[in-house]
Every structure is written in C-alpha cells, then in structure tokens.
C-alpha cells in the first residue's frame, strides 16, 4: 500500500496567510496540518508516500524533507496547475505503479485516522479474491453533514454506492465525501477515461462514478468521529480547539511563582511564563515569552513569540510574532513575524486574521 498526499492547492480561502505560506503548513496545536496526515500514514504502516506539490513546493520540501523524521520515504510530484484530484492520480501514475494506495487531502483533519479504513479495504479485497467474487476497486469515506450541497455527495442503495454527485443543488443524501480515498490500480483506467468538468478539472467523483458505471464495486465507510477541512479560518480554529482538547499537560519551559497554569497546558522547551495566567487547553511554543498576560483556552502560540501585557483566547499565533499591550484578542489567526501593538486606550475586543510580516498599531 502506498500513500498519495495532495498539497498543491493555493489556499485562497485562508488568505492573507497563504499569500506567503503553504496552507498545509499552517499549524494546528503548533504542528503543521500536513504532518498529521503523514503521521496517520505512518501509523497505518504506509511508508512509501508521494506528495503532490504546486507553487509552495520549496516550502513543503523544506518542512517535510525526505520523510525520515516520520519513518517514511517521501517522493515529490510537481503539479503545474490545480487541475483536479483525478489529475493528481494521473500524474502520479509512475510512482503508484499497480499498487493499492490511499489518497489523502493534505489540509484535512480526521479524528478517526486512516488505519482502520486501510485495514478494512485490504481485508475486503483479499476476501473477495478468495471467494472468487467481485473485488472492490475503491473505498470511500463518508461523513454526515448539515449542508451537503457544498460537497461531493454519495447515494447509497442496499448498502452499495450507486451514484456520486459533485456539489448537487438537490443532494441525494447527507453523506459527503471526506478527503480520504482508497484505490486499487483500476482507478488509473478511470482517470484516463473521464473528461474535465465545467470548471476545467478532472474530478475524482467523476472517476469513481465511471468505475460504478462500468460495474465495479465501491465500498464505503461512514465516519464515526469529526472531520474538518481546514481551508477557512474558523474551521482551522475549530480544528485547533479539537486537537488541543486531546493534549496532556507538559511543562518543559519555566513558569515563575507569580504565574498560574490551569487545566491542560503545554509549555515547550525554552518558553517563559512570567507573571501570567495560562488557562488550558493551550500550548506555548519553544522560546516564547508570555509576560503579564492572560492566555485563554484553545490558544496555540508558536515558537519565538512574545506576548506582553495582553489577553487572548481561542486563537492561533504563528512563529516569531509579537503582541504587546493588546487586550481582548479572540477567534484570531495571526501569521508569522506579525507585530500588534497599542497606542492609546485598549479596544474592547478584536478578531484578527493577519498575514505574515504584518505590523498593526492600534491607536
């Protein structure tokens, strides 16, 4: 079993952050989103992984390297333009060869992981082959959603997938396609057979529908836990909240006697908490200083930051940023090397989304 992780998207919904950074490297609980997918692959014993990369290829290569830190081997496949998920399969043909593979969207977060999903697919294919019955050529993961019109949607009849529709105005069900797919080598025939959609992309839903129309069997699982596409600020903050809730307290930096730590809090190596209150779940990154401040629940502050005379909660702050004399920051995403300062009286509340290298002085 091989892995194919898609990390070539431009991340337009997370701008201005993604003007200067890959959306897959925006951190959740101080870990890049992409790393969660790679680690899930490794836990499922998938160690030969290709990553589809686009304009942010250099940044992703630098962050991930050869994959050895995760116990995997990584191959990079460039995609000149975002031409659809099925196009990613098309250009990865040489790497994938005739092996089964998992395709994983690099900006998705799953509570359930992929290990059980992979195991069921492999057992299903082996059992069908042993019984001389139709072997499933794909397995899709589905989740129940409130508004399926925003997603690819599956129609199920008698336990079988009979139809897939991309962003339908009249959805046949509330079962949306999650960004994890398992395929056998028959998918290569499907992606060559389909035509670009109205938006000029080779849609993976069209490829799977082609398999169904040709009489192939498609298995499905309905997700038990949460699934989040982190492409928007609020979704990313929600994902950060969910991951922080799984943390175990760990104090590796210093906390002075005038400070209080409440709940599940991680203070990473070299971080300093001085005269401050940190209420978890929260994580304070390496070498970050929090002085005379309040850091509230569901907040991740990355490495080498400085928070002085400030208050923030339910926010994500990226590396090397400074927040000085600001109260009431909430529901915010602050990029790298951002500086937020105050001149004059404090505002009552702030909700910020600031790109890298911003400098905001609040008068």
What predicted TM-score, i.e. pTM, was given to this entire model?
0.86
DSSP 347: P
pLDDT score of 346: 54
Spatial neighbors of 11 by CB under 8 A, at least 6 apart, are 17, 18, 22, 23, 24, 107, 231
Give 93-123 pLDDT, tens digit per residue: 999 999 999 999 888 887 777 888 888 888 8
Give 264-286 pLDDT, tens digit per residue: 999 999 999 999 999 999 999 99
pLDDT score of 338: 85
CA 315 to chain CA mean position, Å: 17
Please state, in angstroms and rounded to a whole number, the distance separating the CA atoms of residues 353 and 11.
14
Is the pLDDT score of 13 beyond 70? no
For each of the domains in the chain, give its residue range(s) and CATH number, in order of start.
2-232 (3.90.550.10), 247-362 (2.160.10.10)
Instruction: Return phi, psi of residue 150, to 5°.
Output: -90, 0
Spatial neighbors of 290 by CB under 8 A, at least 6 apart, are 271, 272, 273, 274, 276, 278, 284, 301, 307
- Number of C-beta neighbours around residue 165 at 10 A: 20
Is the pLDDT score of 72 beyond 70? yes
Confidence of residue 15 (pLDDT cuts 50, 70, 90): very low
Give 340-363 pLDDT, tens digit per residue: 877 655 555 555 556 565 555 555
Pull the structure tokens for residue 261: 């730590």
Give 119-172 pLDDT, tens digit per residue: 888 887 777 665 666 777 899 989 888 888 888 889 888 778 888 888 888 888
pLDDT score of 332: 86
Is the pLDDT score of 52 beyond 90? yes
> Which strand ranges, in their side-by-side order, compose the sheet holding 311-313?
260-262, 277-279, 294-295, 311-313, 329-330
Beta bridge mates, 180: 104
Q: Quick one: three-class SS letters along 101-158?
A: EEEEECCEEECCCCHHHHHHHHHHHHHHHHCCCCCCCEEEEEEECCCHHHCEEEEEEC
Confidence of residue 19 (pLDDT cuts 50, 70, 90): very low
Spatial neighbors of 148 by CB under 8 A, at least 6 apart, are 168, 171, 173, 174, 175, 176
pLDDT score of 83: 87
């Amino acid at each position: 079993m091989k892995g194919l992780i898609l990390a070539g998207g431009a991340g337009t919904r997370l701008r201005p952050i993604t003007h200067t950074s890959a959306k897959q490297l925006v951190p959740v609980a101080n870990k890049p989103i992409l790393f969660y997918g790679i680690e899930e692959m490794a836990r499922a014993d998938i160690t030969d992984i290709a990553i589809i990369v686009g304009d942010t290829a250099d940044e992703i290569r630098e962050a991930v390297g050869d994959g050895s830190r995760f116990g995997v081997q990584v191959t990079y496949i460039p995609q000149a333009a975002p031409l659809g998920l099925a196009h990613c399969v098309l250009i990865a043909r040489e790497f994938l060869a005739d092996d089964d593979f998992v395709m994983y969207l690099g900006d998705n977060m799953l509570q359930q992981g992929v290990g059980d999903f992979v195991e069921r697919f492999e057992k299903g294919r082996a059992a069908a082959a042993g019984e001389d019955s139709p072997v499933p050529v794909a397995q899709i993961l589905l989740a129940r959603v409130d508004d399926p019109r925003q997603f690819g949607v599956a129609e199920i009849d008698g336990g079988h997938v009979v139809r897939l529709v991309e962003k339908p105005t009249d959805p046949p069900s509330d079962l949306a396609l999650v960004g994890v797919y398992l395929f056998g080598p028959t998918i290569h025939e499907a992606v060559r057979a389909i035509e670009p959609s109205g938006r000029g992309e080779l849609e993976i839903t069209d490829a799977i529908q082609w398999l169904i129309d040709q009489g192939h069997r498609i298995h499905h699982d309905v997700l038990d836990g949460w699934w989040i596409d982190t492409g928007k600020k609020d979704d990313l903050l929600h994902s950060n909240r969910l991951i922080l809730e799984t943390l175990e307290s760990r104090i590796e930096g210093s906390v002075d006697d005038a400070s209080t730590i409440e709940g599940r809090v991680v203070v990473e190596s070299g971080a300093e908490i001085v005269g401050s209150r940190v209420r978890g779940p929260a994580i304070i990154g390496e070498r970050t200083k929090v002085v005379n401040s309040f850091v509230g629940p569901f907040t991740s502050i990355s490495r080498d930051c400085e928070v002085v005379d400030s208050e923030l909660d339910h926010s994500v702050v990226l590396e090397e940023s400074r927040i000085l004399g600001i109260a009431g920051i909430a529901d915010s995403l602050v990029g790298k090397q951002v500086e937020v300062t105050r001149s004059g009286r404090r505002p009552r509340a702030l909700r910020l989304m600031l790109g890298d290298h911003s400098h905001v002085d609040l008068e």
